[in-house]
Amino acid sequence: MKSLGSIRRDFAPWADPGAKPYISFENVTKKFGDFIAVNDLSLNIYEREFFALLGASGCGKSTLLRMLAGFDEPTSGRILLDGQDLRGIPPYRRPVNMMFQSYALFPHMTVEGNIAFGLKQDNMPKAEIEARVKEMLRLVKLEQFAKRKPHQLSGGQRQRVALARSVAKRPKVLLLDEPLGALDKKLREETQFELMDLQQSLGLTFVVVTHDQEEAMTMADRIAILDKGEVMQVATPAEVYEAPGSRFVAGFVGNVNMFEGRVAARDAGIARITGASGAEIIVENAGDAETGNAVSFAIRPEKIKVSSRRPEGAVNAMEGEVFDLAYLGDMTVYHVRLDDGQVVKASSLNASRVTEDPLTWNDRAWISFPPDAGVVLTR
């Protein structure tokens, strides 16, 4: 049997130009009065993909989900599901099901009743409904709670009932609106993996809306980062983190240090960037930046090394003073104020229990990084 990891490694329909998208947003715009919630947005989602819509509140991610479910219609543009235009199809005739942020469990029905509700709408034979409900209860490990009402369940149990109810009809697509938002941290981490297993074992397409980047990174095959109703970048979690397409994406996902400067020289892939204070950075992946462009150099804190002396042979090194540090156990985060005034965050893994050369507040320190540790951003 293939492990989850190997299935996921092989799964990349978006990279195949011949693959047909399963869900397509084509130039979709949605206005509420004068407010533009979604602005001329196009997006493809493939079959069996675990797709995350990530963004701050008000970025239009929930509106996209509601348009897929049929609660809102696009003002212009169209949404295709498996080649079919969804315009005008009411929510109760769409082959998608949604798990609501508030769970929306029917308070007057038992757990069983909630799960069976969707199946009854399809006039499924009674015996089949019973069997399916049992199967769903087993899937979410709630067999002994079948006769309970929603208010007799804990938050985590309610979440699982909502999940069971939304997958009971075997929809083509499952939409999840902040599925883990109401759970505490520990439960959230466990449930993330349960959701991924469920998606793989049922072979469904998942579209999840979240504002939690860690959640999106953990679960999704690809992430769409949204801002003000527009897609900023669609990519795998690793690409989003290591190769952000813009300053917004770099700043939105994870921690980042930004150096502003101008491309002084460029030779093949290698560029020399000069900052306002005269500091120079040599970069290998300069992308499409051209000589003279104003650019940002973005580098993640864990890619920066902090030391008390200038490391020998370092291509990029700058001197400063440790101005703050936070010991987190597994790692230490240094805030180094460079001599030109910029504060740089650098985190170093505490791989051994004792450090020979401990840096502390107000120590002089060097930061250094190799030429391929960061990216050059023009947008």
Partner 1 sequence: MNATWSRFNIVSIVLGFAFLYLPIVLLVIFSFNASKLVTVWGGFSTQWYVALFNNRGLMDAAWVTIRVGLISATVATVLGTLAALTLTRYTRFRGRVLFSGMVFAPLVMPEVITGLSLLLLFVAIGFDRGFMTVTLAHITFSMCFVAVVVQSRLMSFDRSLEEAAMDLGAPPVKTFFQITLPVIMPAIVSGWMLAFTLSIDDLVISSFTSGPGATTLPMKIYSQVRLGVTPEINAACTLLIAIVAIGVIIASLANKRREVQRLRDEQAAQRG
Write out the residues near partner 1 by the rule CB under 8 A.
69-71, 90-93, 96-98, 100-102, 104, 106-108, 117-118, 121-122, 149, 151-154, 157, 165-166, 169
Please report how close the Cβ of residue 90 comes to partner 1 at its closest, in angstroms.
7
> Between 97 and 233, whose beta carbon lies closer to partner 1?
97
> Between 96 and 298, whose beta carbon lies closer to partner 1?
96
Please report how close the Cβ of residue 85 comes to partner 1 at its closest, in angstroms.
19
> Between 42 and 154, whose beta carbon lies closer to partner 1?
154
> Between 94 and 247, whose beta carbon lies closer to partner 1?
94
Angle, to 10 degrees, between the axis of helix 185-202 and the axis of helix 155-167? 20
Please report how close the Cβ of residue 121 comes to partner 1 at its closest, in angstroms.
3
> Between 55 and 171, whose beta carbon lies closer to partner 1?
171
What angle is formed at CA 118 by the lines to CA 115 and CA 124, rounded to 5 degrees?
105
Please report how close the Cβ of residue 172 comes to partner 1 at its closest, in angstroms.
13
> Between 96 and 208, whose beta carbon lies closer to partner 1?
96
Strand partners, 223: 52, 235
> Between 17 and 90, whose beta carbon lies closer to partner 1?
90
Please report how close the Cβ of residue 122 comes to partner 1 at its closest, in angstroms.
6
**167/201 Cα distance (integer angstroms):** 12
> Between 28 and 98, whose beta carbon lies closer to partner 1?
98
Please report how close the Cβ of residue 265 comes to partner 1 at its closest, in angstroms.
57
Sheet holding 316-327, edge to edge: 305-307, 364-369, 316-327, 331-338, 343-349
Please report how close the Cβ of residue 188 comes to partner 1 at its closest, in angstroms.
17
Residue 320 Cα to chain centre, angstroms: 34
Please report how close the Cβ of residue 317 comes to partner 1 at its closest, in angstroms.
54
Residue 78 Cα to chain centre, angstroms: 24
> Between 149 and 172, whose beta carbon lies closer to partner 1?
149
Please report how close the Cβ of residue 131 comes to partner 1 at its closest, in angstroms.
18
